[in-house]
Amino acid sequence: MSFNELGLSEPLLKAISDSGYTEPTAIQAEAIGPVLSGKDLMASAQTGTGKTAAFTLPLLEKLSRLDNPGNHPRVLIITPTRELAAQIEASAHTYGKYLTLQSLAVFGGVKIGPQIKKLRQGIDILVATPGRLLDLSQQGAVNLKNIDVLVLDEADRMLDMGFIPDIKRIQKLLPDTKQTLMFSATYSAEIRRLAHDYLSNPVEVSVTPKNAAAHTVEQVLHPVDKRRKSELLQHLVKSNGWSQALVFSKTKHGANKLTRDLVRIGVRASAIHGNKSQAQRTKALEDFKRGKVEILVATDIASRGIDISELPMVINFDLPHVPEDYVHRIGRTGRAGTTGNAISLVCADESKQLRDIERVISKPLERVEIEGFEPDHVLPLSSTSHDQSGNRSGNRSGYSRGNSSRGNGSNGNSRNRPRRNRNSSSNSRTNRQASA
């Protein structure tokens, strides 16, 4: 299938072509038609599969067909994080560059005055985080009575972050007749109940198994004592010469400390989390994308909304408490058909989180002990069935995209255990797919 078959107009097709995309991804092929036809939609797709373009493109098409769009927003897209809001607005700008439509992203952490000024000038698409949208509404700066389409993006993340009460307040400000689209990488029972309340006879689109991690991501964990995690990370970064890796820490304080540890050994590192100003977060992300920063240490606020082409490496310094967040974290790599690596540094205290993650992804994570960092506190073996990973010792180096060197894991090492057979993955693609 090509984009020409999806009912999109010439200005959008030209913008898509300018971006270098030739065929739609699976989620785009299945979602664009129902959105254009006005149906409510409940869509599930992994991050990096083109989910944003799956709703941005048809919404731009719908707005372009209106004779008199007016000055008030007709499309409202709600998202949990500032970074994701900015990313979605950038996507709308990219694909709508040959249209006369106006879009705006509003979120906290920056002055509200310029956002109010832009709203008064008139916009068609409003992308917002819940808190800032309610602030603008309370100040009378935004009129939501003309909204034709509501998009709830990353709905499960909004549930995790406690935004559902705000979403319910926003819902009361919107017309009952609107079209509603719900997009997310995972759907818990709670989110399905929310969808039942907000959507009317929705079309369900799912292009991936429930809560599955992308097959293009090579996953491994290194057992290590908690007190030596930072030391092990420093060793891996320096010995492998990693030039671009996204590291997840569970706390803001932990992210700051880890960044200081890396900087101390000469690594260009920066932290991004909720206590940073928006200007600081934007600069850190841009420096990371441009290679000025080698290691970006983030809390889960950044697990959705960081869109970096061909990011080679994601590292879980701490495992997430919500197992589905593991899928979102590692979804920052291995996007749109490319291959990537996800490494988790796991201590015995995280056995429960590990067990929950392995149940969610329906597979055990391969355990590789790093020579010199073997833990004193043993990490239990996987409780999932058909555990072929075992524990083995070795110097895992390189972590190249699609290939990984195992070092001395099998040569006369008394700690050596059976290996898991791995299939090599290809990095070739016949057609570039939209990953916005």
Q: What percent of the chain has pLDDT over 70?
A: 82
Nearest to 206 by CA among 354, 77, 363, 42: 42
Q: For position 354, what pLDDT does the model report?
A: 95
Contact 364, 384 (CB under 8 A): yes
- The arithmetic mean of pLDDT across residues 373-394, rounded, is 66
The CA-CA-CA angle for residues 400, 404, 410, to 5°, reads 155
The model's pLDDT over 103-115, given as tens digits with 9 standing for 90+, comes to: 999 999 889 999 9
Please give the model's pTM, rounded to 2 decimal places.
0.65
DSSP E strand stretches across 336-390: 340-346, 366-370
pLDDT band, very low/low/confident/very high, at 399 (cuts 50, 70, 90)? low
DSSP for 129-187, please give it. -HHHHHHHHHTT----TT--EEEEESHHHHHHTT-HHHHHHHHTTS-TT-EEEEEES--
pLDDT band, very low/low/confident/very high, at 339 (cuts 50, 70, 90)? confident
The CA distance from 232 to 376, in Å, is 14
- The arithmetic mean of pLDDT across residues 30-41, rounded, is 96
Q: What percent of the chain has pLDDT over 90?
A: 55
The residues with which 397 forms a beta bridge, in sequence order, are 405
Task: Specify the DSSP element, H or E, that contains 330.
Answer: helix 323-330
Q: For position 153, what pLDDT does the model report?
A: 92
The model's pLDDT over 253-267, given as tens digits with 9 standing for 90+, comes to: 999 999 999 999 999
pLDDT band, very low/low/confident/very high, at 68 (cuts 50, 70, 90)? low
**C-alpha R_g of the chain:** 22
Q: For position 70, what pLDDT does the model report?
A: 66
The model's pLDDT over 207-234, given as tens digits with 9 standing for 90+, comes to: 765 555 667 889 999 999 999 999 999 9
pLDDT band, very low/low/confident/very high, at 391 (cuts 50, 70, 90)? low
Give, in order, the Cα–Cα distances in Å from 191 to each of 42, 75, 86, 337, 401: 10, 22, 24, 28, 34
pLDDT band, very low/low/confident/very high, at 387 (cuts 50, 70, 90)? very low
Nearest to 333 by CA among 175, 220, 420: 220
Domains and CATH numbers, the chain: 3-206 (3.40.50.300), 217-394 (3.40.50.300)
The CA-CA-CA angle for residues 207, 209, 210, to 5°, reads 115
The model's pLDDT over 358-367, given as tens digits with 9 standing for 90+, comes to: 988 888 999 9
The CA distance from 245 to 288, in Å, is 9
Q: For position 381, what pLDDT does the model report?
A: 77
The model's pLDDT over 128-156, given as tens digits with 9 standing for 90+, comes to: 999 999 999 999 999 999 999 999 998 88
Q: For position 412, what pLDDT does the model report?
A: 33
Q: For position 81, what pLDDT does the model report?
A: 87
Q: For position 208, what pLDDT does the model report?
A: 61
Mean pLDDT of the chain: 83
Query: If DSSP codes are grouped into helix, strand and coil, which group holds residue 352?
Result: helix
